[in-house]
Amino acid sequence: MTAEEWLGKDNQLGLDIWTRKYGTDGEDFEAWLGRISGGNKEIEKYIREKKFLFGGRILSNRGLNRQGRKVTYSNCYVIAPPEDEIESIFDCAKKLARTYSYGGGCGVDISKLSPRGAKINNAAKETSGAVSFMELYSLVTGLIGQNGRRGALMISIDCSHPDVPEFIDLKTDLEKVTKANISIRIHRDFMEAVKKNQEYILHFTREATGEVIEKQVNARELFRKITDTNWDYAEPGALFWDRITQWNLLSNTKDFSYAGVNPCAEEPLPAGGSCLLGSINLSEFVLDPFTGNASFDFEGLKDCVRASVRALNEVLEEGMPLHPLPEQRESVAQWRQIGLGIMGLADALIKLCLTYGDEDAVKMCDKIGFAMADTAIAASAQLAKEQGAFPKCCVDEIIQTPYFLANTTEKTREMVKKYGLRNSQLLTIAPTGTLSTMLGISGGIEPVYANFYERKTESLHGTDVYYKVYTKIVENYMKQHQIKDDKELPEYFVTAMTLDYHLRIDMQAVW
C-alpha cells in the first residue's frame, strides 16, 4: 500500500501532513507502518483500515532512537509545579526546555508562586508576582523547535490565587505569553459563590515569611470576567478541578494527586507525569451508513479497544528509557498512563443518521463510551494478569471509585479484583486536529465545523499555504446521492456554525 492509496490521491493536505510531520528521511508508507507499529500486526491492520492511529509523537518518533535521535513517544507531560523560590522557578524552565527538545508538550501550574507585592528579603523587596514568570516559560517554549512544530505549553493557576484577575487579563495583550495556553482551576466553592452572587476571598500564605495576602472579589463578576475574556480571546480556559480529581480510577488513591494538565487540557497528570495517546476512528465502525439499516459495530469496536490498549502498553514499555527527565521516567514506571480516545464522532453520527446533540445521539454516545471504558479496563486487567499491575496499584481503592463503579460490568470488576490494572489511566479524548485532518474526518468529539472551509497551514511549508477543504463526509454523501447543493442535505448534517450550544454541552457532558 502507498500513502496515496491509504489517504486518497486527491487528499493533498493529508499527504502533506503525513510526508512532512510523520514520515522521515523519505521512507515509504510500508516502511513507516512497520516502524510505528513496532511489529504488532494486529495494530498495523487497524491503522491500514484507518480505525486507529497513535498520537503524533508516536507516529513521528517511534524507532528513531535506534538512529541515535533523542526523541520521546509522549505527547503529554506535566512538570512539577515550581516552588516559591527563584531556583525552583528557573529549574522549571530548564525542565521545559529539555522536554521540548525531545518533542514533548508540557503543562505547569504556578499556584505555589507568591502573588504580586508579597514581601521578599532581597534587592527587589517585593515580588513581581506569579504571572510575571509566565513570560519566561512562554519564551522557552518559543525557543525550542520540534521538527515542523513549536513546543506546546499549558500554564494554570488556582481560582483562589490573588493574581487571578491579572492572569485573566494577561492575554488580552496579544504581545504577551504568545507561546502558551492558559487555564484556571475552578473549584466548587467558587462556583457556589458565583451562583449565589457572593463575595469570594482570594488568598495566599507565603511559607517563607508567613505573610498572608488576601483580596475580596465578587465571585459572579470574576466569573463573568473569565467568560467574557474567553469569548473575546479564546482564553483562559476553565478546569473544573473537583470534577477532574474525583472522576477517575485514582480518586481514592491517597498517595496520588494531579499536578496539572497537558497543553490541550485533556490529560491531567501527576508531577513528572507523561501520557501516550492514541485514537479510535468511530466513523469506521458504522455498518450500512446513510441508510435506515445503519448500525454501530460494538463488537468490532471492543476488539479494536483491546488491541489499542495492548499496543499503547508496548509503546509505553519501549519508550520508558526515552523520557527526557529522570522524574518522568520514575513517574511513568510507577503509574503507567495511556490515553486512548476517539475521533470521527460527528462523522459516525451522520452515517447513523443521528443529529449531533439530540437525545438519540447522546444515548448512542453513552453506549459507545461505556463499551470503551469497560473494555479498556478489562484489557488492562488482562495485561496485569500477564505482566503485573502498575507498581502503585491498590485494587481496593480503585474498585470503590465512582468512576470504576459507573463504567464496568460485573465480569470486568471481577478481573480487576483478581489481577489489578496495568495502567492507572486509560482513556482521554484529545482534539486530534492534525490526525483527523490527515484522514479527512471530524476531530475528537467536535461537530463537523462547516460543509467546507479554507485551511491555512504554516508549519508544513514555512510559508502560508491555503487549502480549500470540502468536508469529506459531506462530499461523499453529495456524490452518493447526486446532490449538487449542500442546502439539500438531510437535517442531521448539522455544523458548529448552526448548532445550539446546549447540544454541544450535552454531548461533551456525556463523554
- pLDDT score of 350 more than 90: yes
Grid cell 499549558 — which residue? Answer: 154
Tens-digit pLDDT profile for residues 439-472: 999 999 999 988 877 767 666 566 787 765 668 9
The radius of gyration computed from the CA coordinates of the chain, to the nearest angstrom, equals 23
- pLDDT score of 151 more than 80: no
Tens-digit pLDDT profile for residues 261-275: 999 999 999 999 999
Mean pLDDT of 160-175: 96
Q: CA-based angle 9:12:13, to the nearest 5?
A: 140
pLDDT of residue 155: 97
3-class secondary structure, 217: strand
H/E stretch holding 68: none
Closest-CA residue to 434 (of 274, 302, 319, 277): 277
pLDDT of residue 301: 98
Cα 280 off chain centre by: 14
pLDDT of residue 35: 96
Query: Rounded CA gap, 341 and 52, in Å?
Result: 10
69 pLDDT tier (thresholds 50, 70, 90): confident
Tens-digit pLDDT profile for residues 179-200: 999 999 999 999 999 999 999 9
Tens-digit pLDDT profile for residues 207-255: 888 999 999 999 999 999 999 999 999 999 999 999 999 999 999 999 9
In 3-state terms the chain splits into helix, strand, coil percentages (rounded to 5) of 45, 15, 40
29 pLDDT tier (thresholds 50, 70, 90): very high
For 216, phi and psi rounded to 5 degrees?
Answer: -100, 130
Query: Rounded CA gap, 493 and 490, in Å?
Result: 6
Q: Which three cell numbers stand for residue 426?
A: 486509560
For 356, phi and psi rounded to 5 degrees?
Answer: -50, 125
pTM, rounded to two decimals:
0.93
Q: Does the bond joining 162 to the residue before it have cis omega, within 30 degrees of 0?
A: no
Q: What is the dihedral of CA 229, 234, 237, 238, to 10 degrees?
A: 60
Mean pLDDT of 402-409: 98
Mean pLDDT of 76-84: 95
For 421, phi and psi rounded to 5 degrees?
Answer: -125, 145
Backbone torsion region of residue 286, taken as left when φ is above 0, otherwise alpha when ψ lies between -120 and 50, otherwise beta: beta
3-class secondary structure, 465: strand
Q: What percent of the chain has pLDDT over 70?
A: 96
pLDDT of residue 200: 98
- Determine how many CB atoms are found less than 10 A away from the CB of residue 431: 17
Cβ-in-10-Å burial (0-12, 13-18, 19+) of 286 comes to: buried
